Amino acid sequence: MTGTSNDHGILFSFEGLDASGKNTQTQLLSDFLKERNSNFELLSFPVYSTSIGKEIREYLSDGRDYSPETVHMLYAANRYEFKSTIERWIAENRIVLLNRYCESNIAYGVADGLSRVWVEQLESKMPQSDYVFYLKVDPNISLERKASRDRFEADLKFLSRVSQVYDALAEDTRWISVDAERDPALIQYEIRKIFEALLKEKGIDVNSKSSEGSRWSKDPSSSLEA
């Protein structure tokens, strides 16, 4: 990422209901940046390979029974395991793509009956997203798209509440809502045009050549969610 007037990197997070296409769209955007040797990183949450991530996986597969407060503290803690890494990427002037980030904990936590203020406080020490791509799908479509689901994903009423919270969060000017019920290629085309325009505003040219690309060019978490 050369030729930039920024003195720090830029952080994009991708949010939306389960099976809204977050994995697909972040990977397509990652491939686009990789082809241009852009200085970027891609990370998906939860990162199941850590001890906290393994505990989250156990909970999602019904192997653990925790209170909502405990569950969402685990999600936040999983991100805090990578706080210094994300901060370093930003300090190194990288484009950072995050598939599911702090905003997901707010949406799912509030839908789970927790206070929005409380969950936001949990996430408040993490680097904040500069922009959030919200892949918007109807909860019924989310339910239809995914055959194998964890305890969060199988409840239509719960997904509807999550969708309502996401819609409220998306009123923030940093959020970009994208119709994710279309062909993935069309969605990526729209995301890429917006993405490039936002980078251009920051003085970042993704077509500039850099001596190094991403060290984590593939999702290191083997996340189960889309």
Helix (H, G, I), strand (E, B) or coil at 176: strand
Would the pLDDT of 177 be above 80? yes
**Domains delineated in the chain:** 10-201 (3.40.50.300)
Contact 46, 221 (CB under 8 A): yes
Q: According to the model, what pLDDT value does residue 203 have?
A: 87
pTM of the model: 0.86
Chain segment 178-221, per-residue pLDDT in tens:
999 999 999 999 999 999 999 999 888 776 544 344 433 333 43
| E strand residue ranges, 72-149 | 95-99, 131-136
Chain segment 31-75, per-residue pLDDT in tens:
999 999 899 999 999 999 999 999 999 999 888 899 999 999 999
Distance CA 142, CA 157 (A): 12
